[in-house]
Structure formats: structure tokens, C-alpha cells
């Protein structure tokens, strides 16, 4: 085993004869401290700072006993419902990133477009009384409609904004993606105006389920169930079907897949379509879950958060998107009350989005490969 | 039939596409909004241009690509008819069934506009069809004429549209120079008078037809280097002189626009260091702007958040330093990231800053959602920079200083190190560039300009609110850089004028500003990745190396791609 201390460090010639290094030097070497640059020191300080903030904040909250177990349960179930919406959107990011190594910046707006177009159908079915008569089938038809709209939009965006840029640098694709995002947002604004529109209340979803001390609204259970069902469907599609195998092959190695006779363009289109459809479905269940309604800017925050979820779970991994979304939803629900209240920060619920963005930045800094993902090769951007 | 289908399938589908484009423009509300902007009084408005524009384009493209004239005319006719049918069906549809609860712009007013103001749908549709066919014919005609005259027609059209759109600016300048209302001769209610438009078109034709082709710039490279330097110095001097009198020429409102353009130019120049030179895709530039603005606001205001009430000139450098420090702090954790992850992480920083500024947590210090009020205007002794005209000079001075600094940086060794990192970080590292340090430097220096812009912004507005520091600011600045041309200083100036200046001048269009930004970004990415004015590839040449007697002096030159 070569002793690294023998090699010249920083241009200074090291000891040529293998003198016995002192125990301190050995320790420094073992801990790799001799190869630490000042950036590592900064990163270490940031890491220590955040971990201690989280630990101190949550211990103090628990010591004070500010919230009861039932309250924690309510927060967690809300987090799970919100998180499953993030998961569905995150799948779109993950699938596309797996194949094109592209952050589809417009994905949040694909989600918005599906939700926005479907709100008109939803209002119409509610006015006609169809919703009253057959709520389950009507909601299912909304989901299908939104999936169809978002799927078309996603495929259209791929055609217009990304297809001409195959094999171009990734940053050029990112620029085009930002342009596509603006285009979709302000098209929706032009079409549907700036007003907020709400989904009608679905009968049967406004109740609550009592589980011991914890009460869970029906809508949260529905959201979670629909998301799980869709994700199970996607899992089967990716793992068991022919096109799913082609998708996996392309994401593994595009060139080899092409040589093996996989129609790359068809796979890319299909991937965008599937991602878009899931985002559209997420748009409807998001509309059911959030009473404040839909508007043309609604895509940005869920989009960024879903991207966070995708990175957290390990971008490129389908189960990772599920886990990342749920974790992000739960952290976001618990974070303000658990950590920020303990640290004595007022108005902690205003800072919910700060927690999401902080998580985004921290994950990108410290664990860009996420929980499930393998290390992303250091490709040139 | 089979043959016909084969030959006409493409033109027909292109015609339908043109129709869909028309419908899209109508549904987003662009057509009606543009319709309010007249170009030539009573003859043409901007809405008609966007309504018939696709048909002109159809004629031009199809005729140019056709093997011969006869085929060309048939294709254009087929395509125009397809477009007319698509658009006509849409008009009939929204006339019959109201979809206004969904598409807010699909109103009877739109139907009336698209059918040229006719009440009876049949007559209106006929008129629209005739107009569209005529537009297609015009396009075909343009394709068939010699390129020189086609360009002449484009120039004339551009002149007329440009004059009409900038009527406010032209009138203002004329009123300042001459007494009375000389602008009334040219414009009526912001549109060109038909006679003036005719004269303008005639003038362009006369110039192109009679005058020998004048090439103004072409003689410059032929001059001696000494002369060249003098000429360019004189031109720069004249440019600065024009800028100095500009605010008084264009009046108070347009000076405000100019001041905004200047602030964005400052930010674009700063961000250009990170994005254009070093290739660090920073989507959180608003952070630096916010730090500069809030520091200026907190330390100079005399409102509820008053802390010190210092002088503007004292705080200005402090704001810049604070922004640089923030830039440094935020650069450290992300310095190892590459490409798209860096973009997303910096965007996260930008949003975190805005949300923190909005929160109750920091409200006692920086005002929360109430913002900071009563920020004084800058002053020198008893003189206060009160009006936009006064403030313009501060922004002009700051921009000129930054221009010089950035120009020097661009030429310096550091600049070349940045470019090396942008072109290939691994190689840059391998040839001995300390990439970590040089990238940190890029972030820090880039932040300085943002902080400067923010500080001036706070003082100019007198109040600051968190919503002034949204992601859209970062996006605007990024758009300027990408559309103008990454790394190109002339590109920044052009980009700022086009993306910030023009929308401020054209109120009717400002609603569609971001829609157009989106389209521009996609178009630039696809067709001109270098931007409208790409950075010139620079050739570095070293002095001839003296050779031993007998040998010829060798000139070693290396080209650096820019």
C-alpha cells in the first residue's frame, strides 16, 4: 500500500525516505483531513449548523409539549396527502430526467394546464347535477380528462421545445425549458384570465374518518389512494410491458438502445406523455384537496417541490419519487411546528415554503444522488 | 385524387397550422389588444398585422420552396384556403356558442374584430377570406421579386411600423426640440397619418433606388490604426453626449423608462460575469438585488424601521460590499455543482430570500409584507436627485463604470480563466486554474453589480416591498443575457433595450411580455444559441518573436473561442 504522505503535496517535495509518520499525522491522514479544502470546511460547518438547528428545535418543542399526539397525527396525514401529490408530479421529472438528463422546467405548468382545463369540466358537471348522481365516476372522468390534456401538452412541449435540441448542451435545453414554462403560464393567463377558480365540492369527500384520537378527512384518504393506484399502474407499466422495458433501456444507455432497435423518439414521446398524464391526474386531486382553487401561476411551487422530491428520492428512480414525495410532504407539514417553533421563530407556518426550498438546496449540496438513486455520473452540463 | 392528396397534403396542413396560430393569437387576447394600436390611421392596426401575418408568411414560405411559379401559386392558394376554413370555423363556433366562461377573450368583440367589423357573419367571413387571400398573394409576390426589392419593402414596412410604435417617443423628442406641437403633423392619436406613411415608404424606395449603396462602416478598417482609434473615441464621446442630454429630450415619463432600462442593464452586466463569462447558470440573481435594496432601505429610511438614517452615498458602497459578501456566502456551498443543479439551487436561494423578506420573523428588522417606507432620495449638499431625470444620471454613471470594469475584466487573465471554465471545467482544472477560487470570484463580482442596482432602486422608488424581489427579476435578467448574447456586452445593451425598454414603451403589449419572453427564449435556444449579438470570437496574437539571423520572424497566434 503506497503511503500517500510520500508524494509531493502542494508542490513541496515530500520526504523521500519513508520516515515513520507521527501518530497525529496518521490520524489526520486517516480522517482525510489533509485533503480537505476550505470549501469542505464551509460545507461541514453548514452541515453541523443545520443538524444542530433541527435537533435543538425539535427537542425544545418536545420538551415544551406544545402539541398533542393527535395534532402530530393530523399534521402527518396532511403531509402524506400533500406528499402523494408531489410524488405524482415528481414521477414526470424523474422519468424525463432518466432519459434525457433534462430538468423539464415546464412540468409544473403541464400540471397547471391539466388542472386548469379540467376545472371547467368539473364546474359544468356540478352544474348539470352529474356530480351529485355519480360522484365516483365523475371524478374519475375528470382525472382522465386532465390526464389527456396534460399528456397532449407535455408531448407538444417536447415536440416544440426539446426535440430540435437533441444532443445539444444541457444548458441550452434548460433555457428552452424555461421558455416553455413561461409560454405555458402566460398562455393560460391569456386564455383563462388571472382569476382563481375552484373545483366543486364532491359529495362524500367532506367527511372525516375517526382513527382513535386522530381524525383524517376523507379527501386525504382519497388523494393518497388515487396516487397510490396511479403509481402502482406506472410501476407495472415500466417493469412489465414492452414499452416500459424500452424506457428502461433508453435511460440506461441511449446509444446502445438505439443499436438494439429501440425507437428512441417514440420512447421519448411516450415518456413525456406518461409524465404529463400523471401530472394532469395530480392536478385534479390537488384541486380536490386544496379549496383555494387553480390559477395560472399555481404550477411553480408544486413543480419546484416535486423536483425536490424527485431529487430527494433519487432522480431517475420510480420508487424514489414516491418515497421522496411522501418524505417532503411530511417534512413540510412537520418542519415549521417541530423545528421553527422550537427555535422561537414567530409565524413559523409562513416559512413552510422556506423549508421546502432549504431542503432542495441542502439535498442538491449534500446528497444529489438522493436516497434511492445511484451516483449521477459527473457529466458535463 | 391520390396524386392530389400527395401533392397538397403538406400545404394544406401548413395552412391549418397558420389558422391554428391565428386562433391562438385571438384566444390569448393579443389580437384585440393589438387592435387598439393603430399603425396608419384608418388603414392598418397592429391586430390586423397579427391576424394576416401568418397568411403573408404562408405565401412567402410556400412560394419560395416551390419548384416553379404555377405549383407555387396552387400551393399558396390551397394553404390559404385551409387556413381560412380553420379560422372561419373558429369564428362561426364562438359566434354560435359562447365559451367566454372558459376563454375570456372569445367575446363578440373578437368576432367583430376578426370579421373586419361586419355585423353579418357571412359578409364578415367573406371579407376576412378576401383579406387572407390577398395577404397570401402579397407573400407570394414578395417571394417572387428580386431580393434587393424584397429587402427594400421589408425596410419600408419596418420603418412605418417602428415609427408608429415609437410615436410617443418621437413626439416627445420633437416637442422638446421644436416649439408648438410638431408631432401633430406626423401622428394622430399615436398612429401615423396616411400621407406621412406614404412619404416614409416613398423615401425608402427613393433612397434604395437612386442613391448608390452607401456603406458607412466599411471604410473604418481601411484607416490607419491611429485614425481608427480617434474615430472610435469620437464616436464614444458623441454617444456619451447623447446619453447626457437624453433625459431632457424625452421628458419625465420616458426618463423613468430609461432609468429602469439602466437598472436592468446594471444587473445584466453583473449576471453576465457569472452566466456569460464563467458559464455558471445563476437563477437567483435577485438575491443580490434584494440585499442591496434592503440594506439601503434599512440604513437610510426615516420610517418605522429607521436605523441610523445614514446618507445615500455612504451606504452605496456598503450595499455593494454586502451584496458581494452574500454572493460569496451563497457561492461557497454550491461551488462544486455543475450546470442545471446549480441553476435550481440558486433559484432556491432567490425564493428563500423573498420568503424571508415576507415573513413575520424578520419583520421588526426589514418590515415584512409592509415593506420599508420613507427611503430618502440621494443628494449632494442641498441638491436632491428628485426627478427620474436626475436619477438617470446616477444610473448612467453606475452603468458606465460597470461597463468599463466589465470590459476590462473581459479582456483580463481572470476573464480568460472564466471562459476556460465555461468551455470545459475539467480541462481548466487540469491546466492549473484554481477553479474553486475563480468561480467564487465570478459569483462575488457578479453580485456587486446587483447590489449596486438594488441600492439605487430602493432610493429611486422610496419604498420597497418583498414582492419587488420575485423570481421574475432573475428571469428578466437571465432573458436579457440569453437573448442579447451570452458574454457579449453589446448584446446586453441591445437585450435590455429590447426586453425592458420596448415593453415599457408599448403599454398594449406589456400584458403579453412574458409570453413573448417565453417564445423568444425557446426560439433563441433553438435557432441562435449565441443570442442576437453573439460574443465575438477573439483572436489573441502575441508579438513576433525575434528569430536568429536567417530565419523569418514567426507569428504565433492562437484563437480562443468566445
In whole angstroms, how far apart are CA B399 and each of A331, B224, B383?
Answer: 45, 31, 22
Residue A7 has pLDDT above 60, yes or no: no
Q: Compare CB distances from A347 to B30, B105, B360 and report the shortest one's residue.
A: B360
> Scanning every residue of chain B, which has its alpha carbon at the shortest distance from the alpha carbon of A39?
B332
The per-residue pLDDT for A282 is: 92
pLDDT tens digits along A274-323? 999 999 999 998 888 887 888 888 888 899 899 989 988 888 888 888 89
Q: Confidence class of residue A17 from pLDDT cuts 50, 70 and 90? A: low
- The answer to whether the CB atoms of A381 and B335 lie below 8 A apart is no
**Chain A residues within an 8 Å CB radius of B27:** 190-191
Of A125, A142, A91, the closest CA to residue A288 belongs to: A142
Q: Compare CB distances from B522 to A120, A160, A171 and report the shortest one's residue.
A: A160
- Other beta carbons within 10 angstroms of residue B558's beta carbon come to 8
By DSSP bridging, strand B538-541 and strand A214-217 are: unpaired
The per-residue pLDDT for A15 is: 53
Instruction: Kindly report the nearest CA distance between residue A23 and chain B, in angstroms.
Output: 31
Per the structure block, which three cell numbers stand in for B5? 392528396
> Scanning every residue of chain B, which has its alpha carbon at the shortest distance from the alpha carbon of A195?
B104
Hey, which residues does A197 pair with through a beta bridge?
Answer: A294
Return left, alpha or beta for A267; rule: phi > 0 is left, psi -120 to 50 is alpha, else beta. alpha
- The answer to whether the CB atoms of B525 and A43 lie below 8 A apart is no
The per-residue pLDDT for B553 is: 43
Average pLDDT, chain B: 83
The per-residue pLDDT for A4 is: 46
- Give the max Cα distance, chain A: 91
Mean pLDDT of the A144-149 span: 94
Q: Confidence class of residue B35 from pLDDT cuts 50, 70 and 90? A: confident
Number of C-alpha atoms within 13 angstroms, CB side, residue A158?
23
The per-residue pLDDT for A148 is: 94
Rank A61-75, A92-106, B28-42 by mean pLDDT and report only the highest. Answer: A92-106
Of B357, B305, B310, B306, the closest CA to residue B469 belongs to: B357
Task: Please give the Cα distance from A342 to B216 (Å, whole number).
Answer: 71
Contact B452, B402 (CB under 8 A): yes
Indicate the range of A149-163, A306-320, B174-188 predicted with least confidence.
B174-188
Hey, which residues does B399 pair with through a beta bridge?
Answer: none
Per the structure block, which three cell numbers stand in for A38? 476550505
Instruction: Kindly report the nearest CA distance between residue B285 and chain A, in angstroms.
Output: 15
- The answer to whether the CB atoms of B525 and A179 lie below 8 A apart is yes
Task: Please give the Cα distance from A132 to A204 (Å, whole number).
Answer: 10
Q: Which of A188, A368, A369, A381 to mutate to test the interface with B (most CBs of B within 10 A)?
A: A381
Average pLDDT, chain A: 83
A187 touches chain B (CB under 8 A): yes
The per-residue pLDDT for A378 is: 45
Instruction: Kindly report the nearest CA distance between residue B206 and chain A, in angstroms.
Output: 42
DSSP of B145-197, one letter per residue? S-HHHHHHHHHHHHHHHHHHHTHHHHHHHHHHHSSS-THHHHEETTEE-HHHH
Task: Please give the Cα distance from B294 to B453 (Å, whole number).
Answer: 12
Mean pLDDT of the A40-50 span: 85
Residue B562 has pLDDT above 70, yes or no: no
The per-residue pLDDT for B113 is: 82
Q: 3-state SS of chain B: helix, strand, coil percent to 5?
A: 70, 5, 25
Instruction: Name the residue ranges covered by the structural domains of chain B.
Output: 1-144, 147-212, 250-539
> Scanning every residue of chain B, which has its alpha carbon at the shortest distance from the alpha carbon of A350?
B359
Mean pLDDT of the B183-187 span: 79
- The answer to whether the CB atoms of A174 and B522 lie below 8 A apart is no
In whole angstroms, how far apart are CA A8 and each of A4, A24, B108?
Answer: 9, 19, 81
Q: Which of A177, A182, A352, A359 to mutate to test the interface with B (most CBs of B within 10 A)?
A: A182
Number of C-alpha atoms within 13 angstroms, CB side, residue B222?
5
Which residues, 6+ apart, have CB-to-CB distance to A72 below 8 Å?
A334
Number of C-alpha atoms within 13 angstroms, CB side, residue A170?
19
**Chain A residues within an 8 Å CB radius of B339:** 170-171, 174, 380-381
**Chain B residues within an 8 Å CB radius of A186:** 28, 512, 514-515, 518
Q: Confidence class of residue B212 from pLDDT cuts 50, 70 and 90? A: low
Q: 3-state SS of chain A: helix, strand, coil percent to 5?
A: 70, 5, 25
A178 touches chain B (CB under 8 A): yes
Q: Compare CB distances from A351 to B279, B355, B471 and report the shortest one's residue.
A: B355
Q: Give Cα B545 distance to the centre of its chain.
A: 45
Rank A236-245, A283-292, B110-119 by mean pLDDT and report only the highest. Answer: A236-245
Residue B543 has pLDDT above 90, yes or no: no
Task: Please give the Cα distance from A40 to A35 (Å, whole number).
Answer: 9
Helices (H), B38-146: 46-65, 69-96, 108-114, 121-144
> Scanning every residue of chain B, which has its alpha carbon at the shortest distance from the alpha carbon of A340?
B361
- The answer to whether the CB atoms of A179 and B333 lie below 8 A apart is no
Mean pLDDT of the B96-100 span: 81
pLDDT > 70: what percent of chain B?
92
Contact A349, B359 (CB under 8 A): no
Instruction: Kindly report the nearest CA distance between residue B128 and chain A, in angstroms.
Output: 23
Hey, which residues does B262 pair with through a beta bridge?
Answer: none
Task: Please give the Cα distance from A197 to A203 (Å, whole number).
Answer: 19
Residue B183 has pLDDT above 90, yes or no: no
**Chain B residues within an 8 Å CB radius of A174:** 281, 339-340, 343
**Chain B residues within an 8 Å CB radius of A305:** none
Domains assigned to chain A:
63-366 (1.10.3470)
Task: Please give the Cα distance from A335 to A329 (Å, whole number).
Answer: 10
The per-residue pLDDT for B512 is: 87
Contact B297, B469 (CB under 8 A): no
The per-residue pLDDT for B181 is: 76
The per-residue pLDDT for B179 is: 75
A358 touches chain B (CB under 8 A): yes
Q: Which of A191, A314, A346 to mutate to test the interface with B (most CBs of B within 10 A)?
A: A191
The per-residue pLDDT for A197 is: 87
A190 touches chain B (CB under 8 A): yes
Alpha carbon distance, N-terminus to C-terminus of chain B: 55
Considering the four listed CATH numbers 1.10.3470, 3.30.420, 2.60.40, 1.20.1530, the one that applies to the domain covering B250-539 is 1.10.3470
Instruction: Kindly report the nearest CA distance between residue B339 and chain A, in angstroms.
Output: 5
- The answer to whether the CB atoms of B518 and A180 lie below 8 A apart is yes
Of B510, B531, B500, the closest CA to residue B266 belongs to: B500
Residue A372 has pLDDT above 80, yes or no: no
Per the structure block, which three cell numbers stand in for A369? 444522488
Q: What residues 217-276 of chain A have any CB closer than 8 A to a CB of chain B?
A: none
- The answer to whether the CB atoms of A183 and B519 lie below 8 A apart is yes
Which residues, 6+ apart, have CB-to-CB distance to A154 below 8 Å?
A92, A107, A110, A272, A273, A275, A276, A277, A279
A104 touches chain B (CB under 8 A): no
- The answer to whether the CB atoms of A186 and B359 lie below 8 A apart is no
Per the structure block, which three cell numbers stand in for B420? 476556460
Q: Which of A354, A370, A376 to mutate to test the interface with B (most CBs of B within 10 A)?
A: A354
- The answer to whether the CB atoms of B348 and A361 lie below 8 A apart is yes
pLDDT tens digits along B452-495? 999 999 988 888 888 888 888 899 999 999 988 888 888 888 99
Q: How many CB pairs under 8 A join A and B?
A: 165
Residue A161 has pLDDT above 60, yes or no: yes
Residue B286 has pLDDT above 60, yes or no: yes
Q: Compare CB distances from A190 to B28, B352, B425 and report the shortest one's residue.
A: B28
Indicate the range of A35-49, B255-269, B275-289, B512-526 predicted with least confidence.
A35-49
DSSP code at position A161: I
Strand residue runs (E) in A198-320 = 208-211, 214-217
- pTM over 0.90? The answer is no
Contact A206, A218 (CB under 8 A): yes
- The answer to whether the CB atoms of B515 and A103 lie below 8 A apart is no
A50 touches chain B (CB under 8 A): no
Alpha carbon distance, N-terminus to C-terminus of chain A: 36
**Chain B residues within an 8 Å CB radius of A378:** 338
A53 touches chain B (CB under 8 A): no
- The answer to whether the CB atoms of A164 and B526 lie below 8 A apart is yes
Contact B156, B205 (CB under 8 A): yes
Q: Compare CB distances from B529 to A172, A179, A307 and report the shortest one's residue.
A: A172
Q: What residues 326-355 of chain A have any CB closer than 8 A to a CB of chain B?
A: 345-347, 350-351, 353-354
Instruction: Kindly report the nearest CA distance between residue B176 and chain A, in angstroms.
Output: 38
Amino acid at each position: 500500500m503506497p503511503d500517500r504522505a510520500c508524494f509531493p503535496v502542494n508542490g513541496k517535495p515530500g520526504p523521500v525516505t519513508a520516515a515513520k509518520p507521527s501518530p497525529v499525522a496518521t490520524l489526520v491522514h486517516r480522517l482525510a483531513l489533509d485533503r480537505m479544502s476550505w470549501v469542505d470546511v464551509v460545507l461541514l460547518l453548514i452541515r453541523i449548523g443545520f443538524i444542530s438547528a433541527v435537533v435543538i428545535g425539535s427537542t425544545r418543542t418536545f420538551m415544551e409539549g406544545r402539541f398533542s399526539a393527535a395534532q402530530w397525527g393530523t399534521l402527518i396525514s396532511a403531509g402524506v396527502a400533500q406528499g402523494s401529490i408531489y410524488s405524482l408530479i415528481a414521477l414526470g421529472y424523474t422519468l424525463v430526467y432518466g432519459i434525457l438528463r433534462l430538468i423539464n422546467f415546464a412540468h409544473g405548468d403541464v400540471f397547471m394546464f391539466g388542472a386548469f382545463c379540467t376545472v371547467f369540466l368539473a364546474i359544468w358537471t356540478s352544474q348539470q347535477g352529474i356530480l351529485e348522481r355519480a360522484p365516483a365516476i365523475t371524478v374519475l372522468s375528470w382525472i382522465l380528462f386532465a390526464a389527456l390534456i396534460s399528456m397532449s401538452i407535455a408531448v407538444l412541449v417536447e415536440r416544440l421545445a426539446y426535440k430540435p435540441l437533441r444532443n445539444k448542451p444541457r444548458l441550452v435545453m434548460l433555457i428552452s425549458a424555461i421558455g416553455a414554462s413561461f409560454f405555458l403560464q402566460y398562455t393560460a393567463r391569456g386564455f383563462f384570465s388571472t382569476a382563481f377558480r375552484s373545483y366543486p365540492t364532491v359529495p362524500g369527500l367532506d367527511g372525516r374518518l375517526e382513527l382513535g384520537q386522530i381524525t383524517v378527512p376523507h379527501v386525504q384518504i382519497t388523494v393518497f389512494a388515487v396516487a397510490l393506484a396511479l403509481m402502482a399502474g406506472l410501476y407495472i407499466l415500466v417493469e412489465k410491458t414492452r414499452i416500459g422495458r424500452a424506457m428502461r433501456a433508453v435511460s440506461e444507455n441511449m446509444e446502445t438502445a438505439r443499436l438494439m432497435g429501440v425507437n428512441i423518439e417514440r420512447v421519448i414521446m411516450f415518456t413525456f406523455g406518461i409524465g404529463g398524464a400523471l401530472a394532469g391526474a395530480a392536478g385534479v386531486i390537488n384541486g380536490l384537496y386544496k379549496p383555494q382553487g387553480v390559477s395560472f401561476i399555481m404550477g411553480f411551487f408544486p413543480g419546484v417541490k416535486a423536483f425536490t422530491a424527485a431529487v430527494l428520492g433519487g432522480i431517475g428512480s420510480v420508487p424514489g419519487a414516491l418515497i421522496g414525495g411522501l418524505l417532503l410532504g411530511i417534512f413540510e407539514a412537520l418542519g415549521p411546528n417541530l423545528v421553527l417553533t422550537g427555535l422561537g421563530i414567530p409565524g413559523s407556518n409562513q416559512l413552510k415554503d422556506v423549508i421546502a426550498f432549504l431542503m432542495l438546496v441542502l439535498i442538491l449540496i449534500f446528497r444529489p444522488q438522493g436516497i434511492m438513486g445511484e451516483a449521477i455520473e459527473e457529466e458535463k452540463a | 385524387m391520390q396524386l392530389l392528396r400527395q401533392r397538397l397534403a403538406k400545404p394544406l396542413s401548413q395552412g391549418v397550422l397558420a389558422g391554428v396560430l391565428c386562433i391562438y393569437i385571438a384566444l390569448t387576447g393579443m389580437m384585440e389588444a393589438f387592435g387598439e394600436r393603430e399603425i396608419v390611421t384608418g388603414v392598418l392596426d397592429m391586430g390586423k398585422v397579427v391576424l394576416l401575418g401568418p397568411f403573408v408568411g404562408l405565401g412567402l414560405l410556400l412560394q419560395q420552396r416551390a419548384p416553379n411559379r404555377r405549383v407555387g401559386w396552387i400551393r399558396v392558394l390551397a394553404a390559404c384556403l385551409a387556413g381560412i376554413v380553420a379560422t372561419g370555423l373558429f369564428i362561426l363556433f364562438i359566434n354560435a356558442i359562447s365559451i367566454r366562461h372558459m376563454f375570456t377573450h372569445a367575446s363578440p368583440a373578437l368576432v367583430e374584430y376578426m370579421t373586419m367589423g361586419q355585423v353579418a357573419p357571412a359578409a364578415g367571413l367573406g371579407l376576412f377570406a378576401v383579406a387572407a387571400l390577398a395577404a397570401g398573394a402579397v407573400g407570394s409576390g414578395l417571394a417572387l421579386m428580386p431580393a434587393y426589392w424584397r429587402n427594400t419593402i421589408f425596410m419600408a414596412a419596418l420603418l412605418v411600423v417602428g415609427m408608429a410604435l415609437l410615436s410617443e417617443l418621437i413626439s416627445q423628442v420633437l416637442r422638446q426640440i421644436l416649439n408648438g406641437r410638431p408631432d401633430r403633423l406626423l401622428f394622430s392619436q399615436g398612429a401615423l397619418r396616411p400621407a406621412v406613411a406614404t412619404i416614409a415608404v416613398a423615401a425608402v424606395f427613393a433612397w434604395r433606388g437612386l442613391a448608390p449603396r452607401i456603406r458607412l462602416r466599411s471604410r473604418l478598417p481601411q484607416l490607419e490604426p491611429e485614425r481608427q482609434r480617434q474615430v472610435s473615441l469620437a464616436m464614444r464621446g458623441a454617444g456619451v453626449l447623447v446619453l447626457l442630454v437624453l433625459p431632457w429630450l424625452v421628458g419625465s415619463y420616458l426618463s423613468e423608462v430609461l432609468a429602469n432600462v439602466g437598472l436592468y442593464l446594471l444587473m445584466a452586466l453583473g449576471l453576465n460575469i457569472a452566466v456569460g463569462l464563467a458559464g455558471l447558470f445563476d437563477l437567483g440573481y435577485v438575491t443580490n438585488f434584494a440585499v442591496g435594496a434592503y440594506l439601503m432601505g434599512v440604513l437610510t429610511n426615516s420610517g418605522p424601521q429607521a436605523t441610523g438614517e445614514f446618507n445615500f452615498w455612504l451606504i452605496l458602497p456598503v450595499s455593494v460590499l454586502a451584496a458581494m459578501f452574500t454572493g460569496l456566502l451563497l457561492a461557497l456551498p454550491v461551488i462544486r455543482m455543475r450546470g442545471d443543479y446549480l441553476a435550481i439551487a440558486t433559484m432556491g436561494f432567490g425564493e428563500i430570500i423573498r420568503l424571508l423578506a415576507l415573513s413575520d420573523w424578520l419583520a421588526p428588522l426589514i418590515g415584512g409584507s409592509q415593506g420599508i417606507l420613507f427611503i430618502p432620495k440621494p443628494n449632494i449638499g442641498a441638491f436632491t436627485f428628485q426627478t427620474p431625470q436626475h436619477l438617470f444620471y446616477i444610473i448612467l454613471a453606475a452603468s458606465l463604470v460597470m461597463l468599463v470594469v466589465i470590459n476590462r475584466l473581459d479582456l483580463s487573465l481572470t476573464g480568460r480563466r472564466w471562459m476556460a471554465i465555461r468551455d470545459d471545467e475539467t480541462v481548466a482544472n487540469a491546466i492549473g486554474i484554481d477553479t474553486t477560487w475563480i468561480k467564487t470570484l465570478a459569483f462575488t463580482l457578479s453580485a456587486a453589480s446587483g447590489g449596486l442596482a438594488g441600492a439605487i432602486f430602493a432610493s429611486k422608488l422610496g419604498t420597497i416591498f418583498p414582492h419587488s424581489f420575485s423570481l421574475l427579476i432573475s428571469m428578466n435578467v437571465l432573458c436579457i443575457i440569453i437573448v442579447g448574447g451570452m458574454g457579449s456586452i453589446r448584446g446586453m445593451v441591445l437585450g435590455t433595450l429590447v426586453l425592458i425598454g420596448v415593453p415599457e414603451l408599448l403599454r398594449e403589449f406589456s400584458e403579453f411580455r412574458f409570453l413573448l419572453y417565453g417564445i423568444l427564449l425557446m426560439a433563441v435556444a433553438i435557432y441562435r444559441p449565441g443570442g442576437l449579438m453573439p460574443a465575438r470570437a477573439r483572436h489573441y496574437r502575441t508579438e513576433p518573436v525575434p528569430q536568429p539571423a536567417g530565419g523569418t520572424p514567426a507569428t504565433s497566434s492562437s484563437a480562443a473561442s468566445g
